[in-house]
A and B are shown apart, each in its own frame.
Chain A
């Protein structure tokens, strides 16, 4: 949601210890831009550095911010988003997604990956769209599921 009425999406990156996160985040950013949705990436320092190094000319990555700064802006009613994608591979990821579901008006998508993606998905007890795939090194299982979701994510935005 911007003054120009441009659609925006917040992409929340957690700890980057599972390899597929950076690859899938770049893929998601690409898909959103293709559909005219402006992505804003929030994450830990390491997660953001991985994105910066992978995209040195900022072809995909535009605005990036700190996790706490993003939460501050939303809770302070200074800013909100149309869509919010939260990358989750541990309990902290669930906690952040639950927080976003509560504080933001955005439609929340929980993208679960890693060894325990399905178990973690069972922990979700708040309104959001769940996209879960056991993907650790190979992003394809999560990519296939995200491709399906993106179809209706952009049509329902």
Chain B
């Protein structure tokens, strides 16, 4: 996980599919933005088939993190400068 691990992510969903991660964010996070596959957050690429969503909750980001061996996780980490970059996109 590298940089992401250093941010001590809260794991919201574990070893799920990228589709279930998409649905979770869409249904449970009020503020979310569509990003393209390969979009980078804190050194992590968002992997999957569009549409892919990244959510904002307070000062945190909620996004799908895909590991080749363990499926997709939905994680929550401090957003920092990524929040403004994401909000600059269309919802």
Contact = CB atoms under 8 A, between A and B. Distances in A.
Contacts of A47: 68
Contacts, number: 70
Given A91-B18, A98-B48, A126-B49, 12 more contacts: A68-B43, A72-B40, A90-B71, A92-B18, A95-B48, A95-B66, A95-B72, A98-B37, A99-B38, A99-B47, A99-B48, A102-B38
Looking at chain A's contact residues, is the secondary structure mostly helix, strand, loop, or mixed? helix
A2 interface: no
Interface of A: 14-15, 17, 43-44, 47, 67-68, 71-72, 74-75, 90-96, 98-99, 101-103, 125-126
For chain B, the bracket of interface size reads 10 to 19
B25 to A, nearest CB: 15
Contacts of A17: 69
B68 A94 contact: no
B68 A71 contact: no
Contacts of A43: 68
Minimum-distance CB pairs A-B, first 4 = A98-B49, A15-B69, A99-B37, A75-B38
A67 B43 CA distance: 12
